[in-house]
Amino acid sequence: MTVTIWHNPACSNSRGALALIREAGIEPVVLDYLGSPPDVATLRQVLAESGLAATDLVRSKEPQFAELGLAGADDATLLAAMAEHPRLINRPIVRTPKGTRLCRPPERVLDLL
């Protein structure tokens, strides 16, 4: 099974999900989404796979959210902002053949393994 995690090592939820994946005996593909941000098309695909809305995927408490005036923004604007400013992407995102999910709290990853 191929498991991919959009990982931020500074995030406790991301570290927790990664640890649970590894405890299950799976070595995931770890994507540094901050260093190599996903494009808008990839973000749209994650939304479609997960059933999330763009407002669920964006970190509205991140200072950049307010600085960019994103409150009330439409999906296209939010997705463009996340592609340009990946710190705005909520994490961790885990993708497996069983589905795609925002794993907050980290235990949400268990259903995907």
Active site residues: 11
Q: Is 91:38 a contact under the CB 8 Å cutoff?
A: no
Residue with tokens 């400013």: 85
How many whole angstroms separate alpha carbon 74 and alpha carbon 7?
26
How many whole angstroms separate alpha carbon 65 and alpha carbon 4?
26
